[in-house]
Structure 1
Amino acid sequence: MRGKLIVLEGLDRAGKSTQCGRLVTRLQDLGQRVQHMRFPDRTTPIGQMINAYLTGTSEQEDHVIHLLFSANRWEAATKIKSLIAEGATVVIDRYYYSGCVYSAAKDNSTLSLEWARHPEVGLPRPDVVIFLDISPEKAAQRGGFGSEKYENSRMQKRVREIFADIKTLQQEGQDFITIDAGDSEEEVAKRVEEAALDIIKKVDETDSPLRVVESS
């Protein structure tokens, strides 16, 4: 039986990393083999270029940095598919949804959400995307947004708006589950676990194959 592909998405400071860690531990406690990944993966040569951009030590044209983010996901695609084929569930902190949304949020007239999505076609498609929804104002109360690019209130407001747009697309709309991330950590963890276990059960019962992202 194949593994599952579970993605957590949301604004900065929504609690994605915390909830990914809790979910991985819970699934392992239930006897499942689990691999935790996050994007961008800053350990690869491409990831190091992305890190330099995010930390402000280099600059990239908007389309170029978007394609680097996409390439960073593509260089992990074979590993993701192999793990799932071997029966491991892969839990990912951010995936192509963030890549598309953050690029489109720049308000570059030639970098639309549709354009940003094209390079992602063919990537492994998640069995479920758990979106941790929180207002930028509440997120900022959790210690501020940090000093990297994109980590500011104006950008986060725009990102939240475009996440609402991406959830209206046919494929993405089928995959997204929204959870209120403004609740307590324990309550959010409970709902994340329920969503993950529900999709694991559904995939096992239907024996459905791993899908790929298709053109919209």
Structure 2
Amino acid sequence: MSNSKRGAFIVIEGLDRSGKSTQASLLHERLQDSQDGTIPKVVLLKFPDRTTAIGKMIDAYLRSESELDDRAIHLLFSANRWELASMITAHLAEGTTVLADRYAFSGIAFSARKGLPYEWCRAPEVGLPAPDITLFLNISPKVAAARGGYGLERYEKEEVQKGVRQVFDKIGQAMREEGKGKWVEIDAGKSKEEVAEELWRAVQPLVSVVDGPISKLWETTLGGGS
């Protein structure tokens, strides 16, 4: 086979309490079970990674234990992704599947919802490894608000989530138009088992490893907007 074969980069996105972490864990287990050999070649990442120095600052902010300028916190979120960018690239090059619970799209959606310019929010993410597929868990903010644990963090307010949803719609449309990485919407209002099956059907074609180079987010459109 071609020596360009590599691991797949899979991202799960969605509003708060849409079931992202639950589904990421289930998909991680299924990906492990689907692979041959004694050492599963799949890793699960969660953004923000709250274990790093930058991640701890983000964690304090999300828990409303500290206050930061909107631009400053956006850049910290982006820096947190860049901390792991080289690791993601290395895993993919080695043939390891990388599954991420949230990614750059969340950073853009939450910051743009605050009123920051969309292109400004996107700029720090340009050049990050691009997902081969992004699975957007589609749920109404009202349904998400009814789920357990809602409201424990700063952004878990229904009016905030409505605005975030609008930006996610813009991102999804742009990704589909640009044709760089597949953007798939999944009905997250269904049962946990049904959602898990839909996710599996979407990623199954990528399980046997991907052909071609690792793409970079929006690199070809750098400077195309303001």
Instruction: Report the secondary structure of 1:142's partner residue.
Output: coil
Q: Which amino acid aligns with 2:205?
A: D
Per the alignment, residue 86 of structure 1 pairs with: 94
Partners of 1:145 and 1:153 within 8 A in 2: no
- Report the CA distance between 1:144 and its aligned residue: 5.0
- Within 1, Cα distance between the matches of 2:173 and 2:137? 16
Per the alignment, residue 148 of structure 1 pairs with: 153
Partners of 1:10 and 1:16 within 8 A in 2: yes
1:1-216 alignment to 2 at 5 Å? 1-31=5-35, 32-107=40-115, 111-169=116-174, 170-171=177-178, 174-200=181-207, 204=210, 207-215=211-219, 216=221
- Deviation digits for residues 149-186 of structure 1, max 9, x if unmatched? 11111101111111111112144775210010001111
- Report the CA distance between 1:2 and its aligned residue: 1.0
Partners of 2:31 and 2:207 within 8 A in 1: no
Gapped regions of structure 2 (runs ≥ 5): 222-226
Gapped regions of structure 1 (runs ≥ 5): none
Q: Which amino acid aligns with 2:60?
A: A
- Report the CA distance between 1:57 and its aligned residue: 1.4
Q: 1:213 to 1:24 in 2, by over 3 A?
A: same
Q: Which amino acid aligns with 1:57?
A: E
Partners of 1:128 and 1:177 within 8 A in 2: yes
- Within 2, Cα distance between the matches of 1:97 and 1:151? 17
Q: 1:172 to 1:62 in 2, by over 3 A?
A: farther
- Within 2, Cα distance between the matches of 1:143 and 1:161? 23
- Within 1, Cα distance between the matches of 2:9 and 2:102? 12
- Within 2, Cα distance between the matches of 1:121 and 1:171? 14
- Report the CA distance between 1:75 and its aligned residue: 0.5
- Report the CA distance between 1:147 and its aligned residue: 2.1
- Report the CA distance between 1:198 and its aligned residue: 2.3
Instruction: Report the secondary structure of 1:125's partner residue.
Output: coil
- Within 2, Cα distance between the matches of 1:209 and 1:91? 18
Identity of paired residues, percent?
A: 51
Partners of 2:131 and 2:181 within 8 A in 1: no
Q: Which amino acid aligns with 1:73?
A: R
Q: Which amino acid aligns with 2:76?
A: L
Q: Which amino acid aligns with 1:50?
A: I
- Deviation digits for residues 122-149 of structure 1, max 9, x if unmatched? 1000000000000011111212523211
Q: Which amino acid aligns with 1:91?
A: L
